[in-house]
Amino acid sequence: MHSLKPLTPLGGTTPRRDEYPGLILMENPDWAMASVAARAGSVKKLASAFTTFAQGKLAAVESIDNSGKITNFWTAPDQWMVMAPFASHESLAADLKAALGNTASVVEQTDGWCRFDLSGAHAVNTLERLSAANSRRMQANRVCRTQIDHLGCFMLCHKAGQDFSILGPRSAAASLHHALTTAAISIA
Amino acid sequence: MTQTMRLGGGMIDRSKPLNFRFDGKSYQGFDGDTLASALMANDVRLIGRSFKYHRPRGVLTAGSDEPNALVELREGARREPNSRATVAELFDGLVAQSQNRWPSLSFDALAINDRFSNFLTAGFYYKTFMWPAAFWEKLYEPIIRRAAGLGSLSLAEDPDSYDKGFLHCDLLIIGAGPAGLSAALTAARAGAEIILADEDFRLGGRLNSETHPLDDAPASDWINASIAELESLPNVRLMPRTTVIGAFDHGIFGAVERVSDHLLTPPEGKPRQTLWRIYTKRSLLAAGAAERPIAFPNNDRPGILLAGALQSYVNRWAATPARRIAVFTNNDTGHRTALDLIAKGIEIAAVIDPRPDVTRTGDYPLLAGAVVSNTAGRLGLKSIEVRLASGEMRRLECQALAVSGGWNPNVHMTCHKRGLPVWDEGIAAFVPGETGAQGMFVAGAAEGRFSTADALTRGMEQAIVALGELDRKAHTIALPKAENDTGSITPCWQVKGGKGRAWLDFQNDVTTKDVKLAHQEGFRSVEHLKRYTTLGMATDQGKTANMGALAIMAELAGKSIPETGTTIYRPPYTPVAIAAFAGRSRGTDFRPTRLTPSHQWAVEQGAVFVETGNWLRAQWFPRPGETDWRQSVDREVLATRRSVGICDVTTLGKIDIQGSDAATFINKVYANGFAKLPVGKTRYGLMLREDGIVMDDGTTARLAEDHFVMTTTTANAVSVYRHLEFARQCLWPGLDVQLISTTEAWAQFAVAGPNSRKLLEKIVDKNFDISNEAFPFMACGEITVCGGLRARLFRISFSGELAFEIAVPSRYGDALIRQLMQAGEEFEATPYGTEALGVMRIEKGHAAGNELNGTTTALNLGMARMVSKTKDSIGSTLSEREGLNQPDALMQVGLRPLDKSRKVTAGAHLMVRTAAANAKNDQGYITSACYSPNLGHSIGIGFLKNGAERKGEILRAVSPLTNLEIEVEVVSAHFIDPEGKRLHA
């Protein structure tokens, strides 16, 4: 076991939690992530290999798939982001590469992103002050790419109108958090 | 006694008195008042002075089209000039000042301008201030600005916050009058997602100003019931205090919600206003109509206001400007106004109607076939002069005059996408033509249907059609029984023959005389008329002015009004504060900031930071006793070259490139060869644009046969990634290549200096051999550190020293820098910032952003041979252009001062010793310069014509901007270790 202590994207040793009337905002660093992009002509083989590995399927366009042992969501044509709890899957990228072989290009993305989970009745009110995505109409297990505070982000909906996650660039975590909290406070 | 002009009734809450001040004097109004209605109730008719002539002005309208009653609202940093008192919602503690007057509103010295009105006509500036040209900026403009203009800015930073947001709906309904409300009920009951926006704080539109019953009950009953139903529905968003400001592409609308404008100060953290971008599938414009005045001599005195507005004041706000009022109207509105006034106990001096055959509708004196030919009263109306049908002149005492010249449908939003309105002779007004805006419908007065019954019906009908286009079935709803008087009008644009000027544009002081003069001087297009006279160019955009002016112009030109046409309507519909457009993007929040993984640690070290793109990077790390940045930077450079230095280089772009064709792909995007780069090796790459100019450079490491990691410069991380994606998707879609950015994912540190290997050997796990033999210059590999953490190690050097770059997952970056510093104590490891980084790369002659400046080629950089002739790559062909390969092409060289005490400055141009310093004699320029602590003097690198052949030549470096002129010697750009021994140590 190595000796290095991790920091969260916001620079803390524990995740930041903010609570407002109708909204809980949680920094969530506890996800390992890896991008999976199909090699040319290998989509079917990849889907099969992934199912074998994850016992789930690769998500459809703009969707999240939670059917297997690990989660994945669609990010672009023939490209997905796979997520699993960090504590048990820190080696997710290596494990995926071993399982998927030459059907896909796999890249570790765990620390490429910061993740903020929004939960509560004001989640949509907060998000509509930040993103052009129609979060109010977003169904559970849907995902979209959107811009928040000039940052390219993924917006994941876990429960319609209630539970969302925002994945943004890790280096800009403080700015993204500031944008989220400012919007949360601003809701009348 | 206060509120002497307050009437009974109205939609104000008398149980909630509100105190406010105007021009230092205290008044009281009620909840539900506007500043204008409260001032009116307190018998304040004089509110401002006009733009050019400083004419006394009062309230003209009761809405956002107000040109006259402009004030400086609020105090201190919140002072907001040119605020329309007619839409300023009254709140307790409101403070307003009149503007554009000195020393006082009632005595304004600059009213002298009015005496010179014969000179101050249209085009006055253009004709008068022609010479001498030098006087314009210093003399004329300051004087004109002092004399003209409206309110003044506080010049303090706006203390409030502004939000921006995004909304989506099936149907956006603009205006919550009878048409808007019936449309909203229809669509809402059909289950459509709707937004109903109205600029007023009270929904109901014109119904709030009229007295007609709905279903034999006050209209407010139906309004309240409708709002209650809409509020109860989850698919409805009611947005009062929200002005839809423009229609844009693809069904997108802008809207400003005045969240806290009706409060003294916004609650902590809450926005003052929110600028919404509304994405809607269909829109329904139900914005009503605006009444227009009639141009007659001296029609601008305080107390002269629009008839429909006066109805609003007496019916909605229970305020009147006078107890004896005359009405001048060419349509039925004025007669309705008279009836409403009578019902409130106000004496009607007369209803003056130019229509000879008009009949009385109530108990008031009617002067049919008559016109108002003049008015009197310096600071407020005292009497009017009427020219009767017989030609006889009659003076009538009255303190207010209600004027109605007809109604203009608010077609603005239908024209923002270049829709053109069409002329409707029946109502003597333009109505919407083809809207131009995608999916827009129009209903009610906005389409020229002026009766309440029509508005209710059309709102419902249009909502049904709009939803039908979305395959959503909406049903007719039960509408209340309402008046269905479409009214009649005989156009009367101006009263001729009177003495005195007749105003068209009250805010910009444009009169009928100006329009005539413009026509006389050859301005025949309405667009030219507008710009020459400034008609319609004030903050009200001529809402009350344009129609009258173009009617007069049409008459002068002998054309019909539709032939003359209108000017283009442009967004925003009403003025929008710049702060609302900025939203939260102000100050340090103007854009996001990116922090490096070692940021927190660097803060603890007292680092000085610099913005590089969005990143904050440590520039240098001051130590106690260092009083100047140079001391810190020199120390960092010397310590690194002497032992070991550490620098966070996470900001460099990292692009993961995989696929069976990854090598082929990289070989095409770099000018030099990469196909045969062995696994475990890194290579410097030069990337060209299609035109042969250098785009970026960096190193690319091959981690596996089908796996590369490309490094870009910090500045070009995004543009290079975009370039690669374009190449992958558009140029060579057949290649099996996958790209993804990993810049954020890895914390990367440069460890440079003769002791760098020794330091890293304490970090890198023992099973990895990083000796020079096992891990030579340009080696790379995936390793583990600190007992098993996955990491990447690259033996590359920007400083010219034995150096490595080590990367770990970003969450461990903070821990790694601490570990490196701790392990490096025995070597006196020194953190260094971007300044030391820059000094060391200049000492080594490495090109950076200053050299890759978008004009330089590989040849200029001394890397011509890197552009491979044995393969095709982006930019290689055009890099061979003759113009880029002249014998005297600029070449990168080093420069050192002959006098070692002198400073070389970047930006200086190079001249031969005897030549005059001018562009013709220019030999090149210095791109980067610094003080080299290793050499003990200033150095520079730059581009010199045929530089490779001019080593040893003495030149002059000249910079007129910085008064620099020194002699420099042309030398190799590799000031330190030109043989590269240190790199390979």
Query: Each residue of B743-763: pLDDT tens digit?
Result: 999 999 999 999 999 999 999
Residues of A in contact with B724 (CB under 8 A): none
Tell whether omega for the bond before B132 is within 30 degrees of 0, i.e. cis.
yes
pLDDT in the model for residue B113: 81
Instruction: State the CATH number of the domain containing residue A141.
Output: 3.30.1360.120
Q: Do A10 and A114 meet the contact criterion of CB atoms below 8 Å apart? A: yes
Mean pLDDT (whole number) for B189-199: 98
B347-353 and B366-368 strand pairing:
parallel
Fold of the domain built from segment(s) B161-289+409-469: FAD/NAD(P)-binding domain (3.50.50)
Residues A149 and A182 in one domain: yes
Task: Give domain status of residue A45, yes or no.
Answer: yes
Task: Give domain status of residue A62, yes or no.
Answer: yes
The whole-angstrom distance between B752's CA and the closest CA on chain A is 22
Q: pTM of the prediction?
A: 0.94
* Sign (positive or negative) of CA dihedral A126, A132, A136, A142: negative
Residues of A in contact with B743 (CB under 8 A): 112, 171
Mean pLDDT (whole number) for B443-470: 98
Q: Which of A102, A107, A183 is nearest residue B742 as measured by Cβ atoms? A: A107
DSSP B419: -
Using a CB–CB cutoff of 8 Å, tell me whether A110 touches chain B: yes
Q: Do A114 and A141 meet the contact criterion of CB atoms below 8 Å apart? A: no
Largest alpha-carbon pair distance within chain A? 52
Residues of A in contact with B194 (CB under 8 A): none
Architecture of domain B293-405: 3-Layer(bba) Sandwich (3.50)
Q: What's the structural domain count of chain A?
A: 2
Nearest CA in chain A to B658: A105
Percent of chain B past pLDDT 70, that is, above it, reads 100
Mean pLDDT (whole number) for B835-854: 97
pLDDT in the model for residue B437: 81
Q: Which two tokens stand for residue B434?
A: 């083809």
Nearest CA in chain A to B788: A2
Q: How far apart are the first and last CA of chain A?
A: 49
Residues A117 and A164 in one domain: yes
The CATH number of the structural domain formed by B13-124 is: 3.10.20.440
Task: Give domain status of residue A66, yes or no.
Answer: yes
B811/A8 CB distance under 8 A: yes
A87, A110, A133 — which closes off a domain? A110
> Any idea what the Cα angle at residue B700 is, between residues B697 and B706, rounded to 5°?
140
The whole-angstrom distance between B195's CA and the closest CA on chain A is 13
Query: Each residue of B150-183: pLDDT tens digit?
Result: 788 899 999 999 999 999 999 999 999 999 999 9
Domain extents for chain B? 13-124, 161-289+409-469, 293-405, 501-572, 886-971
DSSP B308: H
pLDDT in the model for residue A119: 98
A175/B811 CB distance under 8 A: no
pLDDT in the model for residue B104: 87
A46, A80, A110 — which closes off a domain? A110
Residues A37 and A71 in one domain: yes
Query: Each residue of B660-689: pLDDT tens digit?
Result: 999 999 999 999 999 999 999 999 999 999
Residues A72 and A140 in one domain: no
Task: Give domain status of residue A3, yes or no.
Answer: no
Buried b (16+ CB within 10 A) or exposed e, B639-665: bbbbbbbbbbbbbbbbbbbbbbbbbbb
Pick B51 or B600 by higher pLDDT.
B600
The yes or no reply on domain B886-971 and CATH 2.40.30.110 is: yes
Q: Is the pLDDT of residue B148 over 70?
A: no
Q: Which of B584, B661, B815 is nearest residue A5 as measured by Cβ atoms? A: B815
The parent domain of residue A169 ranges over 17-29+112-186
Q: Is the pLDDT of residue B848 over 90?
A: yes
Q: What is the 3 state secondary structure string of B901-949?
A: CCCCCCCCEEEECCCCCCHHHCCEEEEEEEEECCCCEEEEEEEEECHHH
Q: Which of B308, B325, B292, B305 is nearest to B59 (CA)?
A: B305
Q: Is the pLDDT of residue A188 over 70?
A: no
| CB neighbourhood size of B360 (10 A) | 13
Q: Which of B161, B168, B811 is nearest residue A111 as measured by Cβ atoms? A: B811
Residues A105 and A138 in one domain: no
Nearest CA in chain A to B650: A171
Using a CB–CB cutoff of 8 Å, tell me whether A87 touches chain B: no
Q: Is the pLDDT of residue B1 over 60?
A: no
Q: Which of A6, A109, A128 is nearest residue B165 as measured by Cβ atoms? A: A128
DSSP A60: P
Task: Give φ, ψ of B19 to 5 degrees.
Answer: -95, 140
Residues of A in contact with B741 (CB under 8 A): 112
Residues A140 and A105 in one domain: no
Say how many CB pairs under 8 Å bridge A and B: 159
B788/A1 CB distance under 8 A: yes
Residues of A in contact with B273 (CB under 8 A): none
Residues A60 and A120 in one domain: no
Q: Is B470 left (phi over 0), alpha (psi -120 to 50) or beta?
A: alpha
Query: Each residue of B299-337: pLDDT tens digit?
Result: 999 999 999 999 999 999 999 999 999 999 999 999 999
Q: Which of B271, B593, B741 is nearest residue A186 as measured by Cβ atoms? A: B271
Residues A95 and A131 in one domain: no
Task: Give domain status of residue A12, yes or no.
Answer: no
The CATH number of the structural domain formed by B501-572 is: 1.10.10.1100
Task: Give domain status of residue A5, yes or no.
Answer: no
Q: Which of B656, B735, B787 is nearest residue A1 as measured by Cβ atoms? A: B787
Residues A135 and A72 in one domain: no
Q: Which of B672, B650, B715, B683 is nearest to B853 (CA)?
A: B715
Residues of A in contact with B163 (CB under 8 A): 129, 183, 186
Residues A70 and A161 in one domain: no
Cα separation of B219 and B213, whole Å? 5
Mean pLDDT (whole number) for B611-634: 97
Q: Could you give the residue ranges of the DSSP H alpha helices within B661-752?
A: 662-669, 717-726
pLDDT in the model for residue B122: 79
Residues A106 and A119 in one domain: no
| CB neighbourhood size of B773 (10 A) | 7
A137/B614 CB distance under 8 A: no
pLDDT in the model for residue B963: 86
The whole-angstrom distance between B811's CA and the closest CA on chain A is 5
Instruction: State the CATH number of the domain containing residue A82.
Output: 3.30.70.1520
- Which range is least confidently modeled, B234-248, B525-539, B879-893? B525-539
Query: Each residue of B562-602: pLDDT tens digit?
Result: 999 888 899 999 999 999 999 999 998 999 999 999 999 99
A62, A77, A110 — which closes off a domain? A110
Instruction: Write the ipTM.
Output: 0.98
Using a CB–CB cutoff of 8 Å, tell me whether A18 touches chain B: no
A105/B270 CB distance under 8 A: no
Mean pLDDT of chain B: 95
| CB neighbourhood size of B52 (10 A) | 23
Domain pair B161-289+409-469 / B293-405, same fold: yes
Q: Is B945 exposed, middle or buried (0-12, 13-18, 19+ CB in 10 A)?
A: middle
